[in-house]
Amino acid sequence: MAVQFATLNPLQIQRGISVSLPRRTQLFPRAAASVSLPWEEQIPPNALRRKRDPSWRGGFSLGVDLGLSRTGVALSKGFSIRPLTVLELRGQKLELRLLDIAEKQEVDEFIIGLPKSGQGNETEQSNKVRSVAGRLAVRAAERGWRVYLQDEHGTSAEALDHMIAKGLSRSAREGRIDAYAAVKVLERYFSYSGNGIELVIPKQVELQNKLRQGPPKDVDFFPDD
């Protein structure tokens, strides 16, 4: 069986590699003669782990809806997904705040919404989101955390409909819609069991190795026998 390799263009390498890989694609080739496990076996997203084992208790996920001036954040712990907060930050301050939230909430992956048109094409905003995701992926990989991109087309409209159905006032909706959009990003991610997402990989080999290793073992969740 032939082994496929991810093809990376210079723009991907400059920003931090973002790859959407098919099954049996070798993520980190070491030598031509070596055959590693498929990427989802090396670094499986939490949604795929949960699909394989519904009783699996680990793996908390942070949903992120990046806007021009505000960023919505949602949290998934177990089977519960809830809006968390809306951040009015940009640049490095935003990235550091997301990392801080992830640490406090014991998150090991970020699911960032990627804007696309109704035809599935990327937009001008998509490039900005990819830039943020690339920088965040470098910082996250230091901790063994993963960053994924999830198609978010239509999630803002879904969030608005959901908030109206809940009876939230217009003022309440305006202040929280970004967080609810992040909820919809997470719901889509889990409903697809992680299919179609893009794993953002730092170009540094040492960081790629940290991604393979994952975050430090949580002895509260996984005590030694």
- Structural domain boundaries in the chain: 55-213
- Please check whether residue 63 is in contact with residue 175, taking contact to mean a CB–CB distance below 8 angstroms: no
Q: What one-letter code names the amino acid at 144?
A: G
Question: What pLDDT is recorded for position 34?
Answer: 30
49 burial level (CB within 10 Å; 0-12, 13-18, 19+)? middle
The per-residue pLDDT for range 40-59, each reduced to its tens digit, is: 667 889 999 888 888 877 78
How far are the Cα atoms of 17, 51, 136, 214 from residue 94, in angstroms, in the given order? 21, 31, 10, 23
Low-confidence ranges of the chain (pLDDT < 50): 1-15, 21-36, 219, 221-225
The per-residue pLDDT for range 175-201, each reduced to its tens digit, is: 899 999 999 999 999 999 988 899 999
Q: 55-213 maps to which CATH number? A: 3.30.420.140
Question: What pLDDT is recorded for position 9?
Answer: 42
The pTM assigned to this predicted structure is 0.80
Question: What pLDDT is recorded for position 6?
Answer: 39
